[in-house]
Chains A and B, each alone.
Chain A
Amino acid sequence: MRIGIDVGGTNTDAVLMDGTTVVSSTKTPTTPNVTDGITTALRGVIDESGIDVSAIDGVMIGTTHFTNAVVERKHLTETACIRLGLPATVCLPPMVDWPDELRDVIGGHYYLAHGGHEFDGREISAFDENEIRGIAQQIADKGIKAVAISSVFSPVNTVFEEQAAAIVQDVIPDASLTLSSSIGRIGLLERENAAIMNACLRELAIRTIEGFKSALETMNIDAPFYMSQNDGTLMNADFAKEYPVLTFASGPTNSMRGAAFLSGLKDAIVVDVGGTTTDIGVLQHGFPRVAALAVDIGGVRTNFRMPDTYSIGLGGGSIISTDPLQVGPQSVGYELTTKGRIFGGDVLTTTDIIVASGKEDIADQSKVADVAADLIAGVEDAIEEMVNIAVDRMKTSATPVPVIVVGGGSILIQRDVAGSSEMVKPDHYPVANAIGAAIAQVGGECDRIFSLAEMNRDEALEQAKAEASEKAVAAGADASSVEIVEVEEVPLAYLPGNATRIMVKAVGNLKEG
């Protein structure tokens, strides 16, 4: 059996699954100390089901913790970036396009050095050991331990980043290093951004993941645990400590895959209503539709594969203001159960309105008996309009499609969404994201430039596919289940030698046991 956990900003959800059956589920508030929240959630699903903890084969955790750290500029470590590529790249130094306050929080330290490769593997300039040693000494003198290393075309040849890392480690034995080639694909600034964000999150990641681990120990769970990545696949916990940046946007992915699983639908719109926001995404063939354009995280450009979602400020905790009537975007968030009217508080929220309307019976309905009928109607109309507009924005055609409603705030959706062929609120809808985490797969990617003067296109494709599959297996996939799910070729225009960039993604089921 597996346990899926989603640690959100507001709630921590957990499910226990036996194969494809949901055995038990729970929703608890996220605690400032993540260990406590996870322990409570684990205890909830285990106690409810009455199973023996030895029956648990794996625990899958999805979290927005690291994304939120960057967005809120909190818990980030001072970081230095070394880029190898001189004399190229000078006019766009590391962090050049970052928001000032984020750059300031991590110190904005960067160093340009010689090295780097051409697309065809030639060196831009020779690697200079003394230069790197000098830079490492400067970093050591500043007392910085988190270091990101990038090198031009390192996805083509990783050797310079590795050599630089060895020298930095030698000068600063307890340095925590992130190599850009181990994270991103072609696109120096985006890959380097990811490496720097990763470097500044590693301390937090170690703390957080150790916290997860101790929660499992507290519950006497001996099974391995994994973290969800942005594309819905998994990485093991030790890997996640090294690459926290790969958890970015795993939340929406998990809730959409969970929605697909629970509803059995492969093509649909997913409306995930949380405490503060509602995320709308599109399922195509059972997977989230991926964003086409570069995605900003906390104001930093990245080229991660991310689900294409549209968020609106509507959730179960959204605050109602009157005169003029407005729903959200301010929300009481996780304080709904103390501040909401039905819970004895004095803030009128969307949840209060739905209860006042008599459509749901939660907490103390008498506390909202005084809410005027026209206010109820006005809020219901406003919610309907917000959702209709957002769903329409994400639709590809006017043809009606099924709409799946999931998330803790799903009670807000009482009316059929315009342009829906059916409205589906599947069993276990409040914990769809935890289910998405539990059913995740593992994947591997290859993204390189091949010279088709040296091998033919089929050979290049085969090589790329083999590399992606090997990476999936190395990440924990059962080799017999590995499938190539994406192949993309970008011939490099204007170039002699028929250079082409091939990107392949392979995905497989997690190896049991």
Chain B
Amino acid sequence: MRLLHEQNIEDIALGAAVLGTGGGGDPYIGKVMAREAIRQYGPVELWTLDEFDDDDLIVPSAGIGAPAVLTEKLPSGDDMIHAFKALGKYMGKPPRATMSIEAGGLNSIMPIYVAARLQIPMLDSDGMGRAFPEIQLTIFTTYGISATPLAMADERGNTVIMETIDNYWTERFARSVVGDMGAMGMMALYGATIAQLKEASLPGTITYAEDIGRTVRLARINEESPVDAVREAVGGFLIFTGKITDVDRRIEGGWNLGDCKMEGVDDFAGRNLLLNFQNEHLAVRVDGEFAATVPDLITVLDIDTGEPITTEALRYGMRVAVIAFPCHEKWRTPAGLELANPRYFGYDVDYIPVEERYRS
């Protein structure tokens, strides 16, 4: 067990945005929320899996909706607490702690807010080790953990409880409800015991995010390249440095799909890059050849500051570095790849781990 203080939040938010692969929105809102909650309620206890009892119930807290809406309609804070408490009541057992469903953007630090307010521990683990655009895209799913019962709350005091036959249906229904809630809702879902999470979650994600964030912060202080610092911290590969020359966004099937083109600079001068995204970065091609795909992580960083850039912030003229790094090994199992292989997202290519592409 260790305590998360105000100063830990900045690093966690930055590192989680690196792992967020462009998704999950600007971590700024979550960062300020968590910081204020810690100021008011005190530091949050971050526990490891083996510090709990096997039958302790853990309930992740997460937001769902459009990140751009969240920058305007800020959460009430009570909405998150309502969802969390409603699910505990429905399940008939009070959750022992909360955790992150995904690493990235807001969802990695919203549970810190819940933990601070309810004075409960937070589990240092998550369900993706990255961010993905749909509810069923978790390691939990590969281990047969149901996303429901799920509680979803808005700021007005409405709470919706869901029971579904599988996690794909959860995604469908949750997506409909969040529209009515004004495109932003707070959820408690994927309740599971520590015994289940010992095999079905990715331990240490929060600490990992914090390490990445600290590395970037120190690189900035020491005037070293923050981009190199990120690449080294995640064991990744520099795919490209370039200038964004075009961002073509479109909406298909209710998703934010897009292609971002870049022209190379420095060592990549004369080359070009194509990045595809569906809320998160999914695949990247250099000079027409795939350089990395899901479930490996693709992150776009501001070339000077190393600040991760979310997909909705990609803009013409930005100078960026693109980094790819290996996903957690649990995504590389048959069950993991069945859920999140490139073909699921419409890319006619087999998954080849990024380190194999870059070994040659």
Contact = CB atoms under 8 A, between A and B. Distances in A.
Interface stretch (B144-152, B159-167, B307-315, B322-330): B307-315
Nearest to B313: A292
Nearest to A122: B182
B343 interface: no
B71 A125 contact: no
Contact of B73 (A85, A97, A494, A498): A85
Nearest to A452: B251
B266 interface: yes
Contacts of B78: 87, 90
Interface string B228-244: 00000000000000010
Interface stretch (A182-190, A239-247, A330-338): A182-190
Given A396-B265, A491-B250, A495-B183, A284 B74 contact: no
Nearest to A289: B317
Interface residues of B, number: 54
Interface in A110-152: 116, 118-120, 122, 124-125, 152
A9 B65 CA distance: 46
Contacts of B317: 284, 289-290, 292
Given A92-B33, A499-B66, A491 B256 contact: yes
A93 to B, nearest CB: 9
B168 interface: no
Nearest to B64: A494
A392 to B, nearest CB: 11
Contacts of A292: 302, 309, 313, 315, 317-318
A455 interface: no
B77 interface: yes
Q: How large is the interface on A (under 10, 10 to 19, 20 to 34, 35 or more residues)?
A: 35 or more
Give the secondary structure class of A's interface.
Answer: loop
Interface string A151-190: 0110000000000000000000000000000000011110
Interface string B62-85: 001111110111111110000000
Contacts of A301: 28
B335 interface: no
Interface string A460-497: 00000000000000000000000000001111111111
Nearest to A118: B182
Interface in A384-407: 393, 396-399
B65 A494 contact: yes
B227 to A, nearest CB: 13
Contacts, number: 152
A413 interface: no
Nearest to A290: B317
A125 B69 CA distance: 17
B214 interface: no
A186 B66 contact: no
Contacts of A494: 64-67, 133, 175, 178, 183, 254, 256, 279
B71 A90 contact: no
B269 A87 contact: no
Given A119-B66, A491-B250, A188 B71 contact: yes
B155 interface: yes
A500 B251 CA distance: 9
A96 interface: yes
Contacts of B319: 396
A34 interface: no
Interface string B283-318: 000000000000000000010110101011101011
A496 B76 contact: no
A500 B183 CA distance: 12
Contacts of A495: 65-66, 69, 178-179, 183, 254
Given A92-B29, A119-B183, A187 B72 contact: yes
Interface in B7-34: 28-29, 32-33
A208 B247 CA distance: 43
Nearest to B316: A488
A397 B179 contact: no
A89 interface: yes
Contact of B69 (A90, A398, A452, A492): A492
Given A292-B315, A396-B243, A187 B71 contact: yes
B72 A152 contact: yes
Contacts of A120: 182-183
B68 A490 contact: yes
Interface in A270-291: 284, 289-290
B2 interface: no
B73 A116 contact: yes
A120 B312 CA distance: 19
A318 B67 CA distance: 45
Interface in A189-220: 189
B221 to A, nearest CB: 16
A489 B249 CA distance: 8
A377 to B, nearest CB: 25
B54 interface: no
Interface string B259-287: 00000011001000000000100000000
Interface in A362-396: 393, 396
B355 to A, nearest CB: 29
Contact of B32 (A96, A125, A492, A496): A96
Interface string B218-229: 000000000000
Given A92-B32, A124-B155, A152-B72, A496 B65 contact: no
B269 A398 contact: yes
A268 to B, nearest CB: 15
A393 B68 CA distance: 31
Contacts of B304: 393
Contacts of A498: 251, 254
A125 B29 CA distance: 22
B25 to A, nearest CB: 9
Given A124-B155, A152-B73, A490 B309 contact: no
A499 to B, nearest CB: 7
B134 to A, nearest CB: 9
Nearest to B179: A496
A390 B74 CA distance: 38
Contacts of B357: none
B109 to A, nearest CB: 13
Contacts of A89: 73-76, 155
A490 B312 contact: yes
A85 B71 CA distance: 13
Contacts of A22: none
B36 A96 contact: yes
30 contacts: A85-B74, A87-B156, A88-B75, A89-B73, A89-B75, A91-B75, A92-B75, A96-B36, A119-B182, A119-B183, A124-B73, A186-B71, A188-B72, A292-B309, A292-B313, A292-B317, A293-B302, A397-B269, A398-B265, A488-B315, A491-B250, A491-B251, A492-B183, A493-B67, A493-B256, A493-B279, A494-B65, A496-B175, A497-B179, A499-B183
Given A492-B66, A493-B68, A495-B179, 10 more contacts: A87-B155, A90-B77, A187-B72, A189-B29, A292-B318, A396-B243, A488-B315, A493-B312, A494-B178, A494-B183
The 5 A-B pairs with the shortest beta carbon distances in the complex, nearest first, are A91-B77, A493-B256, A118-B182, A492-B66, A89-B74
